[in-house]
Each structure stands twice: as structure tokens, then as C-alpha cells.
Amino acid sequence: MTIINEIQLSKELIRFPSVTPKDAGAIKFLSKKLKKLGFNCKILEFKDKGSEPIKNLYARIGKKGPNLCYAGHTDVVPPGNIKDWTIDPFKPLVKRNYLIGRGANDMKSSIACFVAAVSRFLQKNRKFNGSISFLITGDEEGYAINGTKKVVEYLRKRREKIDFCIVGEPTNPNKLGEMIKIGRRGSLSGNIEISGTQGHIAYPHLSNNPINTLVTICKKLKEKKLDRGNKNFQPSNLEFTSINVDNKAHNVIPARARAKFNIRFNNLHTANSLKKKVSSIVKKISKRKKCNYKIDYMSNGEAFLTKPGKTIFMAKKIIKKITKINPKLSTTGGTSDARFIKKISPCLEFGLVNKTMHRIDECVSLSDLRKLTKIYNAILVEYFK
């Protein structure tokens, strides 16, 4: 049995410039690595109309339950201006005990740690009682149309059971061991367009300025407190991300004004219940101001919570033992692919420190890589006891 080194595998994965939606060979490379460990690997490519094709990987060793799955993504965000980096972002380098490269933090190194942990586990437990699987996508940093969402649908149709899933996103704010994610807030985006009547600036009584209506709507939506949060979630929050009029003239009242917003919401709401609240306010004010309106919504996932149970408490105990830090169970942060996986399996999220993700000179401590491999290995040993 080949023992895989997490630092070496991290470097190998980072060398693939797999900026969403480009795979650049990362999925095929990982598939070959897992095949050598005895995994049955299936590369799944999905494509929706008007979207780029995405390669995904589902790999499994073992035919019986329980099936413990690791989920992650090989795609990364663009590096930005390469001249701002101290190295080529796709030619990883170790400096002062830190591995630098795009994806070092989010999240190729976490994948490497789990593969390394599995290789060690299989060396001592070749005939373990259950299955281990990998669900790896190339579409987490993008629109998430042809990635984990489609793989979950594929697994459902095949009646492939996952008993528990570890999502390897970087969950720790400052030190490895600080935080386990047991849920995530939902995300709802929207575009509001208000139509008034265009006219001369000197004769406002002959026009209907849509900006006035839009400003009133924005003010009302921001003033409305959605909730106070609860034991597991912080309060839901609406933020406007842009206001756009497209008017270059100083002497013309525009015909239209637009605004974009996003709501990060807890489990006291659903996307549909929030749509009704927003639409009601927009409709009421638009009618009063005698303007027409249009709202387009895009839901990026519902809020969810994995009720802490045996596996979560087991992972918490192992993380504390190895890192000497008692991890907090949290639902903070953005969305992740756990929002899709939770439909077929309970999840926890635990990975590296997230301080440098998406930044110039993204990096990870070599010590953290070794510790994370130990944590993942200990979880495998305990889970299949």
C-alpha cells in the first residue's frame, strides 16, 4: 500500500491551473491517485444549456455501509495580477514553513490531507467494515450548476447511500481546531428594477423619477429587521450590493433605476418566504409612487443545520486532542456545497485556516497540513471501529 504525503500531493494539485470552470487535468490526476489506493472512480461530466461543462469525481472503496464521504473541490478562484504574487501561483513553493499557491488554503491541500489520511488508514485496515468515498467537484467557486448539485442527483438516482459527509472547506478563522461548521445560512439574491417616466429635469411635475421610488424601497428593506437570530444562527441580514441608473445626462430624469441585493438568512426563513416579504414591500411602495416594478430572484441555497450527534461529537473530541483547542460548533460564513449534500447525508465541515483564501500569496502552514491529516485519519479509525 502506497503511503501518500499530504505536502507533496498538495503541491501536485496546486500545479493544475484549475480556475473555474477549467479543470486543467486536476480531476483525472486525482482519480488516478485514488485508483492506486483501490478506489472505484467515476468521472462525471455535466453540462446545462448556456453553461460550461464541468468535470466531477465520485470515488468509492468498499461495497457495504456505513459509507463515510469526503467532499471538496479542485477548482480555484482566479489568481488576480500574477505580478502581485511573490511566486507563480501555480508553481507552489514552501517559504518559512508555509506552502504558497492558489488553492493551498481553499481547498486543494485539504483534499490532499484526506487522501493521505485514507492511505494511512487503508495500510492498517484493508478489510475495514464499511466504505469510504470522495465527492469532488470542479464547480464550487463558480455558479455550482454542474457540480455537486448534479452529482447528488446522480447518486440519488443510483440509490447510493452516504451515511455521513465531511466537507473539507477551510473553517478555522485563525488557528486549526477553532471551528466546525454544522450548518450554513441560506443565500437569496435579487434584482429590483423600477420604471418611472423620463422627462426634462426642469419640469419634474411632468415626469416620475424612479430613483425616488427605489431609494424609498431600499430604505424600507434595510429598516425591516428580519429576525433576532436563534441559538444556532446569527440574525438574517439584507445588504444592497449595487444601485445603477445608467444616466449620463444632468438634465434628464431617467426612465429606470435598478438595485441588487443579497440576503443571508437563518433557518427561521425560506427563500420563498423572503421573496414574499420583499415583493410585498416593493409592490406597495411602487403602487403608491405610481411606478412599475420588476424583481428577479436567484436562490443560492436554503439555510440548514446538522443536529449535533455521535459523529460530530467524536470529531470534536479528536480535533481537541490533536490541536489542544476545543472547537466551536458554528453556522457562520458564506455558503458551501454542503447545502446540496445535506439533502442526502448529514454533514460537518472542517478544514484549514481560512485567513488567506482567495488572497494574493494564499498559503497554509506545513504543521497544519500534518495535523489535519492526523485528524482525518483519527476520524476514519474511530468511525469504522
- pLDDT band at residue 367, thresholds of 50, 70 and 90? very high
* pLDDT > 80? residue 1: no
Per-residue confidence (pLDDT) for residue 333, from 0 to 100 = 87
Per-residue confidence (pLDDT) for residue 126, from 0 to 100 = 85
Q: List helix spans (H) across the chain.
A: 6-14, 26-36, 108-124, 148-157, 210-223, 271-288, 310-323, 338-341, 366-383
Per-residue confidence (pLDDT) for residue 213, from 0 to 100 = 98
Same domain, 122 and 53: yes
Same domain, 345 and 239: no
Per-residue confidence (pLDDT) for residue 334, from 0 to 100 = 83
Same domain, 18 and 111: yes
Average pLDDT (261-282) is: 97
Same domain, 312 and 243: no
* pLDDT > 90? residue 49: no
Per-residue confidence (pLDDT) for residue 190, from 0 to 100 = 97
- CATH (domain of 20): 3.40.630.10
Average pLDDT (47-52) is: 89
In this structure, is residue 176 part of a structural domain? yes
Q: Quick one: how far is CA 247 from the chain centroid? A: 36
| Residue 227 annotated among the catalytic residues of the structure | no
In this structure, is residue 164 part of a structural domain? yes
For the chain, what percent of residues have pLDDT higher than 70? 100
Average pLDDT (345-361) is: 97
Domain end, chosen from 282, 299, 316, is at: 299
pLDDT single digits (tens) 169-197: 999 999 999 999 999 999 999 999 999 99
In this structure, is residue 1 part of a structural domain? no
Please tell me the distance from the alpha carbon of residue 311 to that of residue 162, in angstroms, as a whole number: 14
In this structure, is residue 225 part of a structural domain? yes
* pLDDT > 90? residue 300: no
Which range of residues forms the domain containing residue 264? 186-299
pLDDT single digits (tens) 79-119: 999 999 999 999 999 999 999 999 999 999 999 999 999 99
Name the domain count of the chain: 2
| Residue 139 annotated among the catalytic residues of the structure | no
Please tell me the distance from the alpha carbon of residue 136 to that of residue 182, in angstroms, as a whole number: 20
Per-residue confidence (pLDDT) for residue 73, from 0 to 100 = 98
Half-sphere CA count of 256, side-chain side, radius 13 A:
9
Query: How high is the mean pLDDT of the chain?
Result: 96
- pLDDT band at residue 335, thresholds of 50, 70 and 90? confident
- pLDDT band at residue 143, thresholds of 50, 70 and 90? confident
Per-residue confidence (pLDDT) for residue 95, from 0 to 100 = 97
Same domain, 239 and 276: yes
Please tell me the distance from the alpha carbon of residue 40 to that of residue 37, in angstroms, as a whole number: 9
Of the residues 12, 139, 140, 337, which is catalytic?
Answer: 140
Domain end, chosen from 241, 266, 299, is at: 299
Residues sharing a CB contact under 8 Å with residue 250, sequence separation 6 or more, in sequence order: 201
* pLDDT > 80? residue 44: yes
* pLDDT > 80? residue 136: yes
- pLDDT band at residue 310, thresholds of 50, 70 and 90? very high
* pLDDT > 90? residue 264: yes
Domain end, chosen from 299, 315, 334, is at: 299
Same domain, 94 and 215: no
Per-residue confidence (pLDDT) for residue 312, from 0 to 100 = 98
Same domain, 237 and 359: no
In this structure, is residue 72 part of a structural domain? yes
Decide which of 61 and 49 is more confident. 61
Question: What's the predicted TM-score (pTM) here?
Answer: 0.90
For the chain, what percent of residues have pLDDT higher than 90? 96
Average pLDDT (155-181) is: 97
pLDDT single digits (tens) 70-87: 999 999 999 999 999 999
Same domain, 205 and 151: no
Same domain, 175 and 199: no
Average pLDDT (262-272) is: 96
Of the residues 75, 139, 362, 368, which is catalytic?
Answer: 75
pLDDT single digits (tens) 234-249: 999 999 999 999 999 9
In this structure, is residue 38 part of a structural domain? yes
Please tell me the distance from the alpha carbon of residue 349 to that of residue 179, in angstroms, as a whole number: 9
Where does residue 16 rank: exposed (0-12), middle (13-18), buried (19+ CB within 10 A)? buried
Average pLDDT (142-165) is: 95
Per-residue confidence (pLDDT) for residue 233, from 0 to 100 = 95
Cis peptide bond prior to 66, omega within 30° of 0: yes
Same domain, 60 and 155: yes
In this structure, is residue 293 part of a structural domain? yes
Please tell me the distance from the alpha carbon of residue 46 to that of residue 259, in angstroms, as a whole number: 33
Per-residue confidence (pLDDT) for residue 348, from 0 to 100 = 97
